[in-house]
Structure 1
Amino acid sequence: MRVTLRLRALVAVPGTGPVTLDVPAGRTAALVAPPRVGTAVARVLAGLAAPVAGRIVVGDRDVTDLPPPRRQIGYVPAGGALLPQLTVRRNISYGQRKRERVREMADDWAATVIDRLELAPTLALLPHLLSDAQRFRVALARAAACLPEVLVVDLPTGMAAGGRLGDLVPRLSPPDAPGVAVLVCTADPATLAEIPTRATLVTEAAAR
């Protein structure tokens, strides 16, 4: 099933303009925003905070008021937000515990993602022993292991992406699937250079 992420006049935080944007399955789009604002938008999409106004639609489901586990939106926080006391392997499997949809196929799919993102040599390591790029890949793997329909990536300026996003994103879906809809919240010039589809979030300060 091909699922499109639709933002409809979404206002994530006070003082910012509304965002209307469609991101089809298998495509990547960027929301251009200052770091703190981009993080706020990503958290709203993931269900960790409520929006000021507007709606979030995944496929034919309005998920605006749903809790995070029911949204089918994977979230990669700024810096990865890995649990420091857990190994890479346990960080990747952590999110699957609350996702009934993936329980039967979780182990096989997680192993596939680990292989595709070249993380096998790091599985027994703790996060502080990883490079920034490796931590980002682990966070990607953790989100992808839950088989989300949408992936939201909070990528601040200068944050290592562990490689070109255009190379990494196709590895995050099964080969027979249409792919996830990916929204990257960033103002990083290097990242934006490879994402032609984008929307710019206007703040009150910028509008003056």
Structure 2
Amino acid sequence: MATLRLCELVALPADAPVTLDVPAGATVALAAPPRVGTALARVVVGLTAPAAGAVLVGGRDVTDLPPLRRRIGYVPAGGALLPHLTVRRNIAYGQRKRERVREVADTWAATVVERLELAPTLDLRPHLLSEGQRFRVALARAMACLPEVLVIDLPAGAPDGGRLTDLVGRLSPPDAPGLAVLVCTADEAVLAELGDQVRVAPADLAAEAGR
């Protein structure tokens, strides 16, 4: 597992730069309004380019790499499950085009399904699931690719009202120090639960504070 490091990262022009380290085994909250948090999450996972700064995973500069080469799992806001696919196929979708030993990935995906208590839902489509179940499917899909880092965009808090740390604690492979987990959220209950956090103001508030 690896440390995630954001170095003077700016997702949106005029926003304040973000510098933080998320060590392997740690969960850190990036406390930001939804617009800012989602923009930062998308930059970290490689869906959009940063305005400035760098993203490092285990010492590797991944700033210019495409998402599939970053070894970062991603849970977007709302989960973004594919509605026409069953839970089983949504989770398998997370393994596409990964340069890993397929047998290892399949075994790990089955372990994640068991730990997140998703086995009874595997043949269902997302619209038949509760909000909490959909969130756990999105977690399983992100973890199926054996990432070194996990980024969760969670603007409105844990969907099932449970503890996010409990779910994250089920996701580390055995005999490993654990994932580096970055949670982008504006939800005060989640922030209170996680403790370790970096607060980011939107551009207009940051400019006002600098006057």
| Superposition TM-score, scaled by structure 2 size | 0.95
The CA distance in 2 between the partners of 1:84 and 1:164, in whole Å, is 26
The share of aligned pairs that are identical, in percent, is 73
- CA RMSD, 1 decimal: 1.2
The aligned counterpart of 1:75 is 74
Alpha-carbon deviations, 1:112-163, whole Å to 9, x = none? 0000000011111100111111110000000111110000000012451563
Question: SS of the counterpart of 1:29?
Answer: strand
Alpha-carbon deviations, 1:76-106, whole Å to 9, x = none? 0000000000000000010202112252312
Question: SS of the counterpart of 1:82?
Answer: coil
Q: Which amino acid aligns with 2:95?
A: Q
Number of residue pairs matched by the alignment? 207
Q: Which runs of 5+ in 2 are unaligned?
A: none
Q: Which amino acid aligns with 1:198?
A: Q
The aligned counterpart of 1:191 is 190
Q: What are the equivalent positions in structure 2 for 1:36-185 lying under 5 Å apart?
A: 36-158=35-157, 160=159, 163-185=162-184
Residue 197 of structure 1, CA deviation: 0.9
Question: SS of the counterpart of 1:192?
Answer: helix
Question: SS of the counterpart of 2:29?
Answer: strand
Range 152-161 or range 15-24, more displaced: 152-161
Q: Which amino acid aligns with 1:10?
A: L
Range 97-106 or range 54-63, more displaced: 97-106
Question: SS of the counterpart of 1:39?
Answer: helix
The aligned counterpart of 1:8 is 7
Q: Which amino acid aligns with 1:86?
A: L
Tell whether the 8 Å contact from 1:132 to 1:162 is kept in structure 2 after alignment. no
The CA distance in 2 between the partners of 1:161 and 1:13, in whole Å, is 31
Moved over 3 A (4+): none
| Superposition TM-score, scaled by structure 1 size | 0.96
Range 104-113 or range 47-56, more displaced: 104-113
Tell whether the 8 Å contact from 2:158 to 2:190 is kept in structure 1 after alignment. no
The CA distance in 2 between the partners of 1:175 and 1:136, in whole Å, is 23
The CA distance in 1 between the partners of 2:160 and 2:194, in whole Å, is 14
Q: Which runs of 5+ in 1 are unaligned?
A: none
